[in-house]
Amino acid sequence: MQFDRKDYSNDTLLHLYRHLLKPRLIEEKMLILLRQGKVSKWFSGIGQEAISVGSTLALEPDEYILPLHRNLGVFTGRDVPLGRLFAQWQGKATGFTKGRDRSFHFGTNEHHIVGMISHLGPQLAVAGGIALADVLDEKPRVTVTYSGDGGASEGDFHEALNVAAVWQLPVIFIIENNGYGLSTPSNEQFRFRYFVDKGPAYGMEAVQVDGNNVLEVYDTVKRLAEDLRQNPRPVLLEALTFRMRGHEEASGTKYVPQELFTEWAQKDPVENYEKWLLEQGILDEQARMRYRETIKREIEEGLKEADAAPAPTPDAARELADMYASVEVRSEKLEVRQSDDENENSSVSPLTSDLSLLTEKRYIDAISDGLRQSMERFPELVLMGQDIAEYGGVFKITEGFVAEFGKGRVRNTPLCESAIVGAGLGLSIRGKKAMVEMQFADFVTCGFNQIINNLAKSHYRWGQNADVVVRMPTGAGSAAGPFHSQSNEAWFTHTPGLKVVFPSNPVDAKGLLCAALADPNPVLFFEHKLLYRSISAPVPDAYYTTPIGKAALAREGHEMSIVTYGAGVHWALALAEELNLDCDVLDLRTLLPWDEQAVRRTVEKTGRLILLHEDTMIGGLGGEIGAWVAENCFRSLDAPIMRVASLDTAVPFAPTLEQDFLPRQRLRAAVEKMRSY
C-alpha cells in the first residue's frame, strides 16, 4: 500500500493514526464483551476503519455526517464520549436513545451526526435535506453520508442521488464497496463493476479511492469538501474495501472464499498505516505502545462508566410524552362554530390583526391562504412538491407563490416522494420547517417508509423533531379510480409520533393548517378534493390557528350522535336536515390524537352512536373509536354502536360503482335503524 503524505505535517499524520487505532481497539474489546453476553449484537467494521476515520477528520466540526453500522470511526472521530457510547450499546438509560434503540441507531446534534435506521437507504435523502438547508442559508458547508454496496440497490439511493444532482446539493455520497450485501456477492447485486460508473448517469462527478488507505481517503474527502463548499454540487465517492468479519457477528463468514480473507488481510488499514509511519520515522515503538495504552485506558474508563449507569426504568407516561416534541403554546386560537367544550374551545384570543375581518373563501382558498400566511410568518418554511412552483400544483393551491417567496422556498421536485420526505427531516435537523405536497394522497405509498420509520420515530429515538407537514389531497367522488381516490388516513393513525388532521370546512382548513405548520412534529394533513371548490364560508383574513386534537360540534341535538370527519360531516349534516334529525354531529377534525373527551360527552348525552367515515370499514378509525366507547362509555349506551363506511374494496372508477362504494346511502339506513332501536 502506497501512502502519499503530500504537505501534511507529522502532527496531522499522527492525528490520523490515533483516530484509526481507536475504533480498532474498541472493536476488539467489544468482540470479547459480545462473547460474554455484555453486548447484544455487533456489526464489525474491522478492515474498513480508514473510510470512516479519513472522511470524518477531513470535515469541519459543524458539518453533518450520516453513518451506517460499520462507521464507528465517525463517532470516535467526533470525540463522542465513550462512556455514553458504550451505554448506548448496552441499552442503558444514559445512552443517546435512553435504551429505546441499539448500536448506531441514534443521532447527536452536539456532534453533528445523524445515525441510521435499519432500512439503510432513507438517510441518504436526509443528508440532502441538511445540505439544502445549508444552501438556502448560504452556508459554505458539505454533508457526508454513507451507503454500502448492498444498500445502494434500494430505490432511496436512486432518489437521493437524483434529487441532490437536480438541486446541486453539496453532499458527498460515500459508497463502501466491500463486495457483499450480507452474504450476497456483488455480482448478484448489480451488473456493473464499479459504482463510479453510476455518477455520470446522475450528472455528478464520481471518484474512486482505496478505502483501506486512510491518507488517501482523508486527502480526497478534504479536497472535495473544500471545493464543494465554494461550488455546491454532489459527488459520488466509491471506497473499495473488504469486510473481514460477518455482516454481524452471528452470521459468520462461511459464505466468503478464504482466499479473499488472505488477500485483504495484506491490505489491513491499521497495520499498513502503522508500518508506514514506523518506516518513515514519524512513529516509534515507544510512541506506538503509548497510543495503545492510552486508548485502552480510555476504553476501560468508558466501560466502567457505562456499567455503572442505570438500566432504563419503565415509565409509560414518559414514554408516551417523548413520542412528540413539545408544542409552544400560542394565543392564536379561533373557534367559529358551536364548541363541544365551552371552557376550552369557544374563546377567541385577540391578535395583532383583527379576526373580525372576514372574507368568503372556498375550502381550497382557505388552505392557500393559510399556507401563504405561514410562509410569511416562518421564513424558515420550505415548500416541496411535484409541479408546485410556476404551475402552482395540480390543484393550484400554490399558484403565485414563486413570485412572492422565490424558487428557493417553493421547490418543484422530481417524482421522488421518499427522497423529498427524507429531505424534510434533513431540513428540520438544520432548524427549518418543511411542507411536502403529495400530488394525490395515494402517492404517499412511495414515501411511506420515510414517514413511518423516520419522521414518526425520530423524536422518540434521539430527541430530534421532524418539523414536516405532508399535505394529502384525498377522497373519492370524482370518478378518478383506484389510484387517485383512496382514503388512506387510517394507515397513519396507527403510527405513534405522527399527528393526523382532516378538516371539513374552510375555517378549520386554514386554522388547522396554520397550526400544523407551527407544530414542530410531523403532521399528515388531509384535504378532501371534492370539498376544494364545492364549499365556502366566511374565513378570517388574519393569521390564526385552530387547536390540533380538539373536535367540534357541527350540529347539536339529543336523539343520537354521529361522529365523523371530512366529507362525512357534510353527509351527516345534509341527512339530519332532510330527516329533521335531532342529533349531535361531532366533527373530529384531528384523527391522531382524536378527542376522547368530546366523544365521551356526546355519547353520555345521547346514548346512541353512529361512526361514519369514507375510509373502508375494516381497520378504519371507526373501529378504534367504537372499541374505546365500548370500554369506557358502555353504561351510557342505549343501543349498539353502528359503523358506516365504504365497501371493503378498492375505489371503483365508474360513477355508479363509486357511489355504491361510498357510505353516504348506507348512512340513511343506519340512522333509521338507530331511531327505531
What whole-number distance in Å separates Cα of residue 307 and Cα of residue 109? 25
The answer for residues whose C-beta is within 8 angstroms of residue 99's C-beta and 6 or more apart is 91, 92, 93, 311, 312
| Residue 94 placed within a domain | no
CATH number at residue 462: 3.40.50.970
Task: Return the residue matching grid coordinates 459508497.
Answer: 175
Last residue of a domain, one of 487, 505, 540: 540
Span 324-333, average pLDDT: 66
Question: Is 573 within a domain?
Answer: yes
Nearest residue to 504 (alpha-carbon basis) of 496, 516, 512: 512
Total domains, the chain: 3
Distance CA 206, CA 295 (A): 36
3-state secondary structure of 443: helix
161-207 pLDDT, tens digit each = 999 999 999 999 999 998 888 888 888 888 888 999 999 999 999 99
For residue 344, is pLDDT > 50?
no
DSSP reduced 3-state for 47: coil
- In terms of domains, do 621 and 494 share one? no
3-state secondary structure of 435: strand
Shared domain check, 591 and 513: no
Q: Do 498 and 560 belong to one domain?
A: no
Q: What is the pLDDT of residue 330?
A: 43
The residue count for the chain: 677
User: Pick from 540, 568, 585: which residue ends a domain?
Assistant: 540
In a domain, 574, yes or no: yes
Q: What is the pTM of this model?
A: 0.94
In a domain, 174, yes or no: yes
Select from 492, 512, 540 the last residue of a domain: 540
C-beta atoms surrounding 296 within 10 Å = 15
pLDDT single digits (tens) 351-377: 445 788 999 999 999 999 999 999 999
- The fraction of the chain above a pLDDT of 90, given in percent, is 85
Here the cell at position 464 is: 430530534
In a domain, 586, yes or no: yes
Residue 667: which CATH number? 3.40.50.920
Q: In the annotation, is 484 catalytic? A: yes
Helix extents (H) in 406-472: 417-429, 448-449, 456-462
Same domain, 473 and 600: no
Judge if 223 and 141 occupy the same domain: yes
Identify whether residues 522 and 606 lie together within a single domain: no
CA-CA distance, 206 to 29, in Å (whole number)? 36
**Element spanning 569, H or E:** helix 567-579
Asked if residue 447 is part of any domain, the answer here is yes
Helices 621-632 and 596-606: angle between axes, nearest 10 degrees: 60
* pLDDT at residue 340 in the model: 41
Amino acid present at 353: S
Residue 365 lies in a domain: yes
Range of the domain at 400: 342-540
Q: How far apart are CA 399 and CA 113, in angstroms?
A: 37
Kindly state whether residue 358 falls inside one of the protein's structural domains.
yes
| Claim to verify: residue 260 and residue 154 sit in the same structural domain | yes
Residue 669 is placed in which grid cell?
339506513
All cell numbers assigned to 195: 459504482
Q: How far apart are CA 73 and CA 20, in angstroms?
A: 7
Summarised one tens digit per residue, pLDDT across range 524-576 is: 999 999 999 999 999 999 999 999 999 999 999 999 999 999 999 999 999 99
Residues 6 or more apart in contact with residue 198 via CB below 8 angstroms: 161, 192, 206, 236
- Mean pLDDT to the nearest integer, 486-491: 96
**Looking at the DSSP assignment, which residues form a beta bridge with residue 172?**
144, 235
The backbone torsions φ and ψ at residue 460, rounded to the nearest 5 degrees and listed phi first, read -65, -40
- Nearest to 447, CA basis, from 428, 470, 431: 470
Catalytic residue among 19, 484, 528, 570: 484
- Peptide bond connecting 663 to the previous residue in cis, omega within 30 degrees of 0: no
